[in-house]
Amino acid sequence: MMTQPYQRFTLAMLMMATIICTADKLIFAFAGPSIIRDLDLSPLEFGLAGSAFFFIYSIAGVAVGFLANRVQTKWILTGMSLIWAVSQFAVSFAGSLGTLIAARLLLGAGTGPATAVTQHAGFKWYAPNERLGVSTMIHVSVIIGGLVASAVLPLAVQHLGWRTSFLLLGLASVGWVGLWLPFGREGTVDAHASVDTSPKRSYRQTLLNKSFVMISLLGFIGGVPGVVGFSWLAVFLQEGVGLNSGQMSLYLVCLALTLMFVNLLVMAGSKRALRNGTSFQKAMVWPPLFAIMIGGAAYLGLRYVGGNMPMTLALYLIASVASNLLPPFAFAIVAHLCGASQRGAVLAIYNGIVTLAGIVTPGLIGYMISDMGGDASAGFDQFFTLCGGMALAVSILAFMVLDPEKTRKRLDLDCRMETTLRSPASS
Establish if 2 belongs to a structural domain: no
Most confident of the following: 25-29, 141-145, 171-175, 407-411: 171-175
Establish if 58 belongs to a structural domain: yes
Measured at the alpha carbon of residue 225, what is the angle toward residues 220 and 229, in degrees to the nearest 5? Answer: 115
Averaged pLDDT for residues 177-198:
71
Model confidence over 70-126: pLDDT tens digits?
888 889 999 999 999 999 999 888 878 888 899 989 998 898 888 888 888 887 887
187 and 125 Cβ atoms separated by less than 8 Å: yes
Return left, alpha or beta for 40; rule: phi > 0 is left, psi -120 to 50 is alpha, else beta.
left
Identity of residue 42:
S
Confidence of residue 148 (pLDDT cuts 50, 70, 90): confident
48 and 366 Cβ atoms separated by less than 8 Å: yes
Model confidence over 210-269: pLDDT tens digits?
889 999 999 998 888 877 766 677 778 887 788 887 788 788 888 888 888 898 898 888
**Cα gap 96→283, rounded to integer Å:** 50
More confident site: 249 or 423:
249
pLDDT at 5: 67
286 and 326 Cβ atoms separated by less than 8 Å: no
pLDDT at 337: 83
Establish if 3 belongs to a structural domain: no
Establish if 359 belongs to a structural domain: yes
Residue 271's CATH number: 1.20.1250.20
Averaged pLDDT for residues 380-384:
88
Establish if 92 belongs to a structural domain: yes
Indicate the DSSP class of residue 96: S
Count of domains forming the chain = 1
**Cα gap 303→174, rounded to integer Å:** 43
Establish if 192 belongs to a structural domain: no
More confident site: 4 or 291:
291
Q: Average pLDDT, whole number, for the chain?
A: 83
pLDDT at 304: 86
Averaged pLDDT for residues 132-156:
82
pLDDT above 90 covers what percent of the chain? 22
Model confidence over 263-292: pLDDT tens digits?
889 888 888 888 888 888 898 899 999 999
For 277, other C-beta atoms within 10 Å of its C-beta total 7
**Cα gap 376→11, rounded to integer Å:** 41
Burial of 60 (0-12, 13-18, 19+ CB in 10 A): buried
More confident site: 416 or 35:
35
More confident site: 395 or 203:
395
pLDDT at 192: 53
For 279, other C-beta atoms within 10 Å of its C-beta total 13
Sign (positive or negative) of CA dihedral 390, 393, 396, 400: negative
362 and 47 Cβ atoms separated by less than 8 Å: yes
Q: Is the pLDDT of residue 402 over 50?
A: yes
Most confident of the following: 166-180, 258-272, 302-316: 166-180
Nearest to 152 by CA among 239, 253, 44, 64: 253
**Cα gap 208→224, rounded to integer Å:** 22
Domain residues for the domain of 16 are 8-187+198-426
More confident site: 422 or 224:
224
Helix (H, G, I), strand (E, B) or coil at 198: coil
Establish if 398 belongs to a structural domain: yes
